[in-house]
């Protein structure tokens, strides 16, 4: 989650300069650091750290990162342990710029979460993140003596949003932008909501520290401390918490503004629409490379949605998508040769840094060979191969339906049975856990975890194919097409696509966690839909009890090969806790619901010749 990402970044930043390693030594020997306050058009000054190569015989491009997570260490004699997206850039020679965004850490001004873009600026007081970026670049290219007049921007997660925000009305010097796992739409698919369902664990853990007010510029040692949980069991903590309104009375009060905003805006209203930057990604001039991870628990949606928005609204612009088998930011650290229990047979992160990211910026900022990068560079799990595509999704796909059948069967053949359904009970007091075991923090591995723990529950419906007699490769989005009924008036629906390994599949070697890979149920994609939003995110509708109803929604893209000898499985459930807050199964304002609103409900999933539930997939031919 973002809080974990932020705290790891902060702790490593504060401690790393006390350690001596080859990279940090190289930076000290070859770079000079200065700290500046750069004035924006409205007079607010933003704290900016600038690292310039000591070799002044050359001119260098500027590579910038704007962040709400601190540019520390602060002080002209204190250096970051590495510079740029990877040390390839530092050793090549760039000017690196890091900036605390408006209202965060040492910058002046008032911070606003995912500050809305203002397309109608009329005076110098009309600012947004795009104007702050423009003003910063303008100062840099006019005041740095050894820049070559070309600027690139990159950022992961929240800094990915600031990268995207640099694109509308971009400064002429901005030539290359890489939004990586960018925050894009916090109601539809990123971080704190997916299809209107509230991701309570991520929101609570992040805003309990990130959302603490900052009355004046501060350094990290003066900043907020992590929330101290009373128990190291997130399932029990959030279950004992009760209804969402208890957060305000027990923990946050009125101190966390954005938490209160979350509680006030329970539909896709103007508050959320203004924070969706996608409609403003038009007339884009800089080249873009959007990067994401298929197993990114925070912002898989953001990467795919940002790429699509740029591509459809700027068909002539140079726009590229990179998706790998990564967790949140996994492409920027570690080798990427495995995640969780799953091996990828190669160092995917290192390969991407050397063969995609570095050549992209080198080509656009230094006029060097761009390595003939494709429109889409996609890592296909299962086969564990990098694929190059001219479009994404690829052109050579055909949509097929995986139909649910009686007795847990799943096939490409539509059901012929009459009046066929599975019926079960969902109890908010005993929600389905999102992961096996006991954890405090939300695990990043849940995106790729073994699902055998879930398939054994009576409130999880399981459908699987016969053993595959040939490989089946999927590429692109999935579509859940459920035909259901419920005795309640609201319900969440969670659909999961799972790769079932053969029973005789060999265990990994070494196997320190004693994981049994035979029969492993590998999660490929899971997504939730809050049922009352099935027809509109702006105007929720109750279910009519016991009435057959369609619930249809899109799941984020996949790129995966189900190998011969495996099975394809689909799981359907009505809770995913505490990843997603509990649905009372009653049509109410969940953010202000009472304990008495939570009720058991009987659910039916239909699979007959008139009401055929299915998962729609895109199969490569």
List pLDDT tens digits, range 493-505.
999 999 999 999 9
Calpha distance 32→529 (Å, rounded)? 51
Omega of the bond prior to 510 within 30 degrees of 0, cis?
yes
- Residue 513 pLDDT level (bands cut at 50, 70, 90): confident
pLDDT of 18: 46
**Average pLDDT over every residue of 372-385:** 97
pLDDT of 508: 86
pLDDT of 510: 76
pLDDT tens per residue across span 307-316? 999 999 999 9
* CATH no., domain 397-620: 2.60.120.260
HEC string for 20-76: CCHHHHHHHHHEEEEEEEEECCCCCEEEEEEEEECCCCCCEEEEEEEECCCCCCCCC
Q: Domain boundaries in the chain?
A: 2-184+278-389, 397-620
- 3-state secondary structure (DSSP) of residue 241: helix
Calpha distance 352→322 (Å, rounded)? 9
pTM of the full predicted structure?
A: 0.95
- Residue 463 · residue 570 · CB < 8 Å: yes
pLDDT of 8: 44
- 3-state secondary structure (DSSP) of residue 495: strand
Find, among 201, 215, 210, the residue nearest to 247 by Cα: 201
HEC string for 282-319: CCCCCEEEEEEECCCCCCHHHHHHHHHHHHHHCCCCCE
Cα–Cα–Cα angle for 232, 16, 102, nearest 5°? Answer: 80
First-to-last C-alpha distance (Å) of the chain:
36
Query: In 10 A of CB 3, how many CB atoms?
Result: 20
- Residue 620 pLDDT level (bands cut at 50, 70, 90): very high
pLDDT tens per residue across span 141-163? 999 999 999 999 999 999 999 99
Q: Domain spanning 2-184+278-389: which superfamily? A: Alpha/Beta hydrolase fold, catalytic domain (3.40.50.1820)
């Amino acid at each position: 989650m973002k809080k974990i990402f932020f705290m790891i970044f902060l702790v490593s930043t504060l401690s790393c300069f006390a350690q001596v390693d080859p990279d940090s030594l190289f930076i000290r020997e070859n770079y000079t650091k200065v700290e500046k306050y750069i004035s924006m058009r409205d007079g607010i000054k933003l704290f900016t750290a600038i690292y310039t190569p000591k070799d002044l015989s050359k001119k260098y491009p500027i590579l910038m990162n704007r962040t709400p997570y601190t540019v520390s260490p602060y002080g002209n004699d204190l250096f970051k342990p590495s510079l740029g997206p990877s040390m390839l850039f530092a050793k090549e020679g760039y000017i690196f710029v890091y900036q605390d965004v408006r209202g965060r850490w040492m910058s002046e001004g008032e911070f606003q979460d995912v500050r809305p873009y203002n397309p109608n600026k009329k005076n110098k007081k009309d600012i947004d993140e795009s104007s702050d970026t423009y003003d910063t670049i303008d100062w840099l290219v006019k005041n740095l003596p050894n820049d070559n007049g070309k600027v690139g921007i990159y950022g992961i997660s929240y800094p990915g949003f600031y990268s995207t925000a640099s694109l509308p009305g971009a400064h002429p010097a901005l030539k290359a932008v890489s939004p990586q796992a960018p925050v894009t739409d916090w109601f539809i698919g990123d971080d704190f909501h997916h299809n209107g369902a509230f991701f309570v664990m991520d929101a609570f853990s992040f805003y309990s520290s990130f959302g603490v007010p900052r009355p004046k510029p501060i350094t990290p040692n003066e900043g907020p401390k992590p929330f101290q949980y009373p128990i190291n069991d997130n399932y029990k903590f959030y279950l004992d918490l009760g209804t969402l309104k208890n957060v305000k009375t027990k923990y946050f009060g009125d101190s966390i503004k954005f938490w209160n905003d979350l509680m006030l805006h329970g539909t896709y209203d103007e508050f959320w629409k203004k924070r969706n930057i996608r409609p403003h990604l038009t007339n884009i001039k800089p080249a873009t490379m959007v990067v994401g991870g298929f197993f990114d628990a925070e912002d898989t949606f953001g990467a795919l949605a940002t790429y699509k928005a740029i591509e459809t609204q700027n068909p002539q612009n140079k726009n590229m998508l990179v998706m790998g088998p990564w967790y949140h930011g996994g492409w920027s650290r570690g080798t990427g040769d495995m995640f969780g229990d799953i091996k990828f047979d190669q160092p995917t992160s290192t390969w991407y840094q050397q063969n995609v990211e570095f050549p992209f910026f080198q080509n656009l900022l230094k006029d060097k060979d761009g390595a003939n990068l494709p429109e889409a560079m996609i890592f296909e799990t299962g086969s564990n191969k990098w694929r190059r595509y001219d479009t994404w999704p690829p052109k050579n796909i055909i949509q097929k339906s995986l139909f649910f059948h009686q007795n847990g069967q799943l096939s490409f053949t539509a059901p012929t049975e009459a009046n066929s359904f599975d019926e079960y009970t969902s109890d908010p007091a005993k929600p389905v856990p999102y992961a096996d075991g006991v954890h405090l923090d939300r695990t990043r591995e849940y995106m790729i975890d073994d699902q055998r723990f879930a398939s054994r529950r009576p409130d999880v419906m399981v459908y699987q194919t016969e053993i595959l007699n040939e490989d089946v490769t999927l590429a692109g989005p999935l579509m859940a097409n459920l035909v259901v009924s419920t005795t309640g008036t609201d319900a969440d629906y969670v659909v999961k696509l799972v790769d079932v390994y053969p029973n005789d599949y060999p265990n990994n070697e070494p196997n320190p966690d004693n994981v049994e890979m035979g029969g492993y149920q590998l999660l490929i994609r899971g997504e939730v839909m809050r049922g009352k939003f099935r027809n509109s995110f702006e105007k929720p509708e109750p279910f009519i009890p016991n009435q057959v109803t369609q619930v249809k929604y899109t799941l984020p893209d996949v790129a995966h090969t189900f190998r011969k000898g495996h099975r394809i499985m689909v799981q359907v459930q009505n809770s995913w806790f505490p990843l997603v807050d509990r649905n009372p199964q009653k049509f109410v304002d969940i953010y202000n619901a009472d304990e008495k609103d939570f009720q058991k409900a009987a659910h039916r999933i239909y699979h007959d010749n008139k009401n055929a539930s299915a998962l729609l997939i895109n199969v490569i031919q």
